Amino acid sequence: MSSPDFKKRVLTDEDLSLITSKIPALAELRGVRPWNRDKLWADVLDALIGARTKAERAAAQQALGAIQTLDAIDQFFVRHDR
């Protein structure tokens, strides 16, 4: 993020891929590389639905929180030049 004006959208989809690949709860899911928000959300929701143990539920909740944060970053800081 090179701009001090935070209203400018200065990240790219590739930046989101890099950020996501560093989050352990999301790193191995589809949609990380290349960035695909829909596939990533589908995997997180599948994990939430399929969680059977306390550890699986905790991991799914962590992934949910991470993807919600990424959505906020995408909304405010990603350059959408399409």
pLDDT tens, position by position, 10-54: 888 889 999 999 999 998 899 899 989 999 999 999 999 999 999
Q: What is the pLDDT of residue 35?
A: 87
> CA 33 to CA 11: how far, in whole Å?
15
pLDDT at 4 over 60: no
pLDDT at 78: 78
Mean pLDDT of 60-81: 87
With a cut of 70, say whether residue 1 has pLDDT above it.
no
- What is the residue extent of each domain of the chain? 13-75
Global model pTM greater than 0.75: yes
Angle at Cα 36 formed by Cα 29 and Cα 56, nearest 5°? 25
